[in-house]
Amino acid sequence: MTAGPAAVIDRVTLVVSDLDRAEDDYVRTFGCRVEHRGDIDPALVRVLCIRRARGRRSLLRLGRERIELLEFTEMAGRPYPLGSTSTDLWFQHMAIVVTDMRRAYLRVMANRRFRPISRNGPVRLPDDSGGVMAFKFRDQDGHPLELLAFPEGDVPGSWRTGNGSGSFVGVDHTAIAVSDSARSARFFGSVFGFRAAGRTENRGPEQADLDDVDDVHVSVTRLSADLPAPRMELLDYHVGTRRPIPHDTASNDIVATHSVVRVASLDATAAALARCGTPLARDDLMILHGGIRAALVTGPDGHRFLAEEQAVPGLRRSRGVLAHVTHQPGDVVGD
């Protein structure tokens, strides 16, 4: 193995009600490219703790980043909660970098299945909030998305050579609403090595228009800015509904967006979770197609993360905390 980060976000997964429609929206509007389409791996269904469910999967690429769409055809989950706001803890958005905000905005709004969150179109945030142009909206199923345009002359190096389609370059980050920034930062730092890399306090009329939240105040914490995109951000709103993720939320519910985190060692991840007081159980572990060991990790506020470890051919696994993981009937193992 070559040395590298302990964990990186491999892709962001959205649960959709209609795979054909969602795929068409993301391909036609953003210029995503379909990398793979097929049935959902039965072992993935089990690791997501969904019983007797089948479904379809589409893996999309936008620039260098990947977006995964899952449709559970035999056991569809609940729709996105009505009346949701940016402050509710189930809020999780993907930020798509664009080169031409006006052109990208008009293209998004030309899709009648998309609807705005932001009040008056794209918003330029103050310099102390990043100085970017941004616009938030929802897709057909209610998933929140954001367009992000960096100021001219201040575009990060990684986005100057992006290879997306037209105005849409790639996925910069995924952001989750949290109830306590410090607690969440400690958790993700301990479990995945995602260290806090800066924090801003966003408020004022521009942020209120962007989020459609009056008298808004949100603490934004960036994690692991040195890692490749997509990275992660924590959004700690101090106003608004701030409703918690319901305890009965299932992984096939539309609201159950999750990040797939590629880890160097699932044993190390499990040990870190145990130290945080949330140990993995034997049934939490599965072997996916291609020999990938995987486990579902839940954050402090209930956000889901699928931790995947790619098996290395010819390398004998050490006897770590997950040494009890074995092939079970029905596990899909292959290339």
Mean pLDDT computed over 46-73: 93
pLDDT at residue 324 is higher than 90: no
What's the CA gap between 92 and 229, in Å, rounded? 16
Beta bridge pairs of residue 67: 12, 60
**Alpha carbon 94 to its chain's center:** 7
Percent of the chain with pLDDT over 70: 90
Most confident of 30-39, 152-161, 281-290: 30-39
**Alpha carbon 216 to its chain's center:** 23
Q: What is the dihedral of CA 97, 223, 239, 180, to 10 degrees?
A: 160
Confidence of residue 165 (pLDDT cuts 50, 70, 90): low
More confident residue, 84 or 131: 84
DSSP string, 182-243: HHHHHHHHHHH---EEEEEEEESHHHHHHHT-TT-EEEEEEE-TTSPSSEEEEEEESSS--P
What's the CA gap between 39 and 296, in Å, rounded? 20
More confident residue, 327 or 85: 85
pLDDT at residue 290 is higher than 90: no
Whether the bond into 126 is cis, omega within 30 of 0? no
Confidence of residue 317 (pLDDT cuts 50, 70, 90): very low
Coil, helix or strand for 116?
strand
What's the CA gap between 162 and 63, in Å, rounded? 6
Quote the strand ranges of 285-333, DSSP E.
Answer: 285-288, 292-298, 304-309
| pLDDT, tens digit (0-9, with 9 covering 90-100), for 183-192 | 999 999 999 9
Residue 2's pLDDT is what?
Answer: 40
CA-derived radius of gyration, the chain: 19
Residue 136's pLDDT is what?
Answer: 98
- State the sign of the Cα–Cα–Cα–Cα dihedral 288, 291, 292, 294: positive
Query: Distance of CA 168 to CAs 92, 188, 219, 251, 300, Å?
Result: 20, 29, 27, 29, 32
Residue 297 class from Cβ within 10 Å (0-12 exposed, 13-18 middle, 19+ buried)?
buried
pLDDT at residue 121 is higher than 90: yes
Instruction: Give the range among 40-49, 115-124, 232-241 with minimum mean pLDDT.
Output: 40-49
Instruction: Return the DSSP state at 111.
Output: S
Residue 162's pLDDT is what?
Answer: 57
More confident residue, 157 or 77: 77
Residue 59 class from Cβ within 10 Å (0-12 exposed, 13-18 middle, 19+ buried)?
middle
Mean pLDDT computed over 91-112: 97
pLDDT at residue 170 is higher than 60: yes
pLDDT at residue 90 is higher than 50: yes
Residue 289's pLDDT is what?
Answer: 84
Task: Return all residues near 247 (Cβ < 8 A) that are at least 6 apart.
Answer: 302
| Average pLDDT value for the chain | 89
What's the CA gap between 328 and 287, in Å, rounded? 9
Mean pLDDT computed over 313-319: 42
More confident residue, 16 or 321: 16
Residue with tokens 């953003």: 30
Instruction: Give the range among 97-106, 172-181, 311-320 with minimum mean pLDDT.
Output: 311-320
Please provide the size of the chain in residues.
335
| pLDDT, tens digit (0-9, with 9 covering 90-100), for 202-252 | 999 999 999 999 999 999 999 998 899 999 999 999 999 999 999 999 999
pLDDT at residue 37 is higher than 60: yes
Confidence of residue 164 (pLDDT cuts 50, 70, 90): low
Nearest to 1 by CA among 212, 263, 242: 263
